[in-house]
Amino acid sequence: MHIHILGICGTFMGGIALLARQLGYEVSGSDANVYPPMSAQLASEGIALSDGYDPAALDPAPDLVVIGNAMSRGNPMVEYVLDRNLSYISGPAFLAQYILCDRWVLGVAGTHGKTTTSSMLAWILEYAKLKPGFLIGGIPKNFGISARLGDAPFFVVEADEYDSAFFDKRSKFIHYQSRTLILNNLEFDHADIFDDLDAIKRQFHHLVRTVPQNGLIVAPGDDDNIKDVLAQGCWTPVEHFSTQSGWSAHNLSTDGSRFDVCFKGELQGRVEWDLMGQHNINNGLAAIGAARHAGVMVAHAIDALSEFQNVKRRMEKRDEVSGVHIYDDFAHHPTAITMTLDGLRRQVGSERIIAILEPRSNTMQMGVHRKTLAAAFDNADEVMLYQPVGIDCSMQEIASAIGDHAQVFDDVAAIVDEVVSQARAGTHVLVMSNGAFGGIHQKLIDALENRLEAK
């Protein structure tokens, strides 16, 4: 069977390509941005890539075209598929029909923490020698890959609420039929496809409807939006975390790198890891609860988390140059920014933090978060905001709300120069973006090394 994937270099669709290849299918794909590391990962698996959307890549016709949700009507390959009546399917539907149909699916949904929690859960199952399959929107360092088939029955999937395809506006996670479901949290996001928070809640309610009565939902006990979703109807047992009646953390270290795990008030063990922040503690508690439903002893899950190495681009320390620490983080929502900076502040104490943000998500660029974004930087000593061309949100408005310690730039090189002029030993530079941000991380490292050599 030959499948061709449109939008193959996205994290999700690239994962679909890897899974299809592991099934033994011939796989090819097209994308407007064919570049490493995804292009290299795909090429190493013998997957043929086409740069751009030339319909010639569909001649001869593949058996099936898998269409990513970034594709829309008017795309020349989409029009070619429709005009010639080629067989096509969305990425989530392909995953459900060809991979998940006979698996015990453990889905991880929520506005924040999906990638990290999915990675924790997959690692716990791996540590327990269950060899799970997984598809995760990032690269867990414990595995070094974003997707694999694994062994039956368990499969961990990052269950995204974004729409499935131009012809299927249901959330991706509706397709997966999770037996074990984590609902991490719920806030308004994806303003490009959801009109309001209630529209997102409705999709989450549809997700809850797909979980069987012999399944399990693991959810926070203190998230009002999740409570609203469950109140719309729930036919599945629910275990809560961050509540004394369910999974809870006690005796926390200041930065969250050590904590006791309790279930229904009884001590289960202590996690000691390299992660930080309350958000990661919550992620860990949820993963432990979900793994327990799959048969993993809690003590083994705790031991696994103590060896968890996090995910690339989630508070990933890229380098340290003359005592200046450079971090890369995926945060692109005020809540995520707040949690990331809070965790870093707890770790570094009074040392100087420079926070740099590229507003790259559709929701942020539309200005949806303009009233809440400034407060997210309360734990930063200096804030540098990048102003892309042609977006609705004025970074200068945000900077004014933050105060005198915030600046706006329209050039990556200028940000690098400003950081180099300010950074001294003990400075922590946190770069936040869900994109490449013009290669700023390596440019900062190179510039700081050049400064050192010039002395």
Confidence of residue 367 (pLDDT cuts 50, 70, 90): low
Return the residue matching tokens 């012999």.
214
35, part of any domain: yes
Sequence-ordered list of residues with C-beta below 8 angstroms from that of 280, at least 6 positions apart, any chain: 113, 116, 256, 343
Same domain membership, residue 393 and residue 354? yes
pLDDT at 60 over 90: yes
pLDDT, tens digit (0-9, with 9 covering 90-100), for 225-248: 999 999 999 999 999 998 878 999
- Using the 3D structure, point to which of 247, 280, 305 is the last residue of a domain: 305
Alpha carbon 57 to chain centroid distance? 31
Q: How many residues does the chain have?
A: 455
- The reply to whether 96 falls in a domain is no
pLDDT band at 415 (very low <50, low <70, confident <90, very high): very high
Cβ-Cβ contacts under 8 Å for 266 (sequence gap 6 or more): none
Last residue of a domain, one of 65, 91, 117: 91
Domain limit, last residue, from 255, 285, 305: 305
Residues 146 and 278 in one domain: yes
pLDDT at 416: 93
Helix and strand element counts for the chain (H, E): 14, 23
CATH code for the domain in which residue 426 is found = 3.90.190.20
Confidence of residue 378 (pLDDT cuts 50, 70, 90): very high
User: How far is residue 334 CA from its own chain's centroid?
Assistant: 15
Question: Do residues 45 and 131 share a domain?
Answer: no
Number of domains in the chain: 3
254 and 115 within one domain? yes
Question: Quick check: 182 and 287 in contact, CB under 8 A?
Answer: yes
**How far is 181 from 173, CA to CA, in rounded Å?**
10
Q: Where are the alpha helices (DSSP H) in 23-103?
A: 38-44, 76-83, 91-95
Rounded to two decimals, the pTM is: 0.83
Does some domain include residue 173? yes
Task: Give the CATH number of the domain where residue 225 resides.
Answer: 3.40.1190.10
Cis peptide bond N-terminal to 132, omega within 30: no
Same domain for 12 and 135, yes or no, is no
- Give the CATH number, domain containing residue 67: 3.40.50.720
Q: DSSP letter for 50, please.
A: E
Position 312 confidence tier, pLDDT thresholds 50, 70, 90: confident
Same-domain pairing of 145 and 204: yes
What residue numbers bound the domain in which 146 lies?
102-305
Residue the block writes with tokens 């270290």: 253
User: Both 298 and 411 in a single domain?
Assistant: no
Tell me: do 179 and 245 sit in the same domain.
Answer: yes
Residue 448, in any domain of the structure: yes
